[in-house]
Chain A
Amino acid sequence: MKILLAEDTRDLNRAVTALLDHEGYEVDSAFDGEEAMDYILKSDYDGVVLDIMMPKKDGLEVLTEMRSRHILTPVMLLTAKTEIDDRVAGLDAGADDYLPKPFAMKELLARIRSMTRRSKEYGASELTFEDITLNPKDFVLSARNTVILTAKEYELMDVLLANKDTELSTEYLLSHIWRNEENAHADTVWLYITYLKGKLKSVGSKVGITGAKGESFRLSI
């Protein structure tokens, strides 16, 4: 687990770095906003801790630049206790959390755990059901064989797998997967269900999808 800490107060930076290191994190330390941005562009972090008040570039500028570059790494801001406007601005700019200074080290660690867990656990993860596995990295559906799904097929399969114990209605799928696109209707859902049924068969899976056109669907064996 790799963390970037950007904090210009040298003693605090050293103390937090030593603590994170002791907790088993791999830590890079930056002492101003520009250095932080350089690190962010060079490396892939599981979480970034940014002090707001920093020389060269402040924490909010770094955060804004990250998000504008589509870097979605979780970010926690360290703010002075009185700066409510900064906290609001930070959250609006795409921060995942903030921690007012002074803070207890115990709380900092708990928040870092929480922040990095969120991106790991609720992000796309490999899903399985009976003999099938769906890989979010390459859209591969596998059982005895493998096939590669298209983006929409993947989304539909992912939702069916995540809700394997629930019947999902055509309306629910239209709103969640097709986001109520104008041209999407019950026939669209049915066609994609048909694709997936065929693909389950072609990978030699015993899993099928129950449900008729316009009705509710669910994975089954």
Chain B
Amino acid sequence: MEKTTDTIYGSHIERMEEIVKEMEKRIMDLREKILSEQGMDPIEHYLARIKSDDSMREKCRRNGLPETEESALQEIKDAIGIRIVCDFLDDVYTIRDYLAQMPDYTLIQEKDYIRNAKPNGYRSYHMILRSLDGYHIEVQLRTISMDTWASLEHHIRYKKNLPCDAELIFKELKRCADELASTDVSMQAIKNLITEN
């Protein structure tokens, strides 16, 4: 069993773990606040992880980078990853706004794959944040239906032998993505309607 300081992250691991805890606390506080104000919890589930030593080293090699702290923490920006899965579409954007205005983090990149879905149907909101002391967090925000879709797509993509025509499967997955996206919008419209009155 290697000591934590033996990982590619070296002595940074402690601060990284602190960041994970800190983010979790912030998200839970935000959740409480929205729940007490609007009577509905905006988050279905929250996950945070530090990329394992093995995966990070593998990613360095895949990207032709030396296996150093610099590569793991500066060149590659998902050493710390959080995923926030929301019940409704608008919640995704509410949480996006909250994360973007945190004074001790700078938003260095964001991609709205919800309004600009990937050709295969993938939808999520991606952000990369940098703390004042230089650590990066990759954030993925999505609704439950986008999360379900992504997990099936991920499972299929890495499956070795598909029992039937792969093209058909990917076409059907795309169709499901477009139906789910449509339903997300309808659910939001119904929610807005009942909360207005």
Contact = CB atoms under 8 A, between A and B. Distances in A.
A204 interface: yes
Contact of A195 (B114, B117, B179, B186): B186
B193 interface: yes
A202 B115 contact: yes
A150 B181 CA distance: 12
A211 B178 CA distance: 27
A202 B188 CA distance: 12
Contacts of B116: 144-145, 204
Given A194-B189, A194-B193, A148 B115 contact: no
Q: How big is chain A's contact interface, by range?
A: 10 to 19
Per DSSP, chain A at the interface is mixed
A54 interface: no
A204 B117 CA distance: 10
A147 B179 CA distance: 6
B114 to A, nearest CB: 7
Nearest to B186: A195
Interface in B149-197: 175, 178-179, 181-182, 184-186, 188-190, 192-193
Nearest to B184: A202
A148 B188 contact: no
Contacts of A204: 115-116
A146 B189 contact: no
A131 B115 CA distance: 14
Contacts of B186: 150, 195, 198
A99 interface: no
A13 to B, nearest CB: 43
Nearest to B181: A147
A148 B116 CA distance: 15
Contacts of A199: 182, 185
A148 B182 contact: yes
Contact of B189 (A147, A148, A150, A198): A198
A202 B114 contact: yes
Contacts of B182: 147-150, 153, 199, 202
A34 to B, nearest CB: 38
Given A202-B114, A202-B115, A204-B115, A191 B178 contact: no
A186 to B, nearest CB: 13
A145 B181 contact: yes
A146 B115 CA distance: 10
A195 B115 contact: no
A149 B185 CA distance: 11
Contacts of A159: none
A140 interface: yes
Interface in A147-189: 147-150, 153
Interface of B: 89, 114-117, 175, 178-179, 181-182, 184-186, 188-190, 192-193
Given A147-B179, A198-B185, A202-B185, 7 more contacts: A140-B178, A144-B116, A191-B189, A191-B190, A199-B185, A202-B89, A202-B184
Interface of A: 138, 140, 144-150, 153, 191, 194-195, 198-199, 201-202, 204
17 contacts: A140-B178, A144-B115, A145-B115, A147-B179, A147-B181, A147-B182, A147-B185, A150-B186, A153-B182, A195-B186, A198-B185, A198-B186, A198-B188, A201-B115, A201-B185, A202-B114, A202-B115
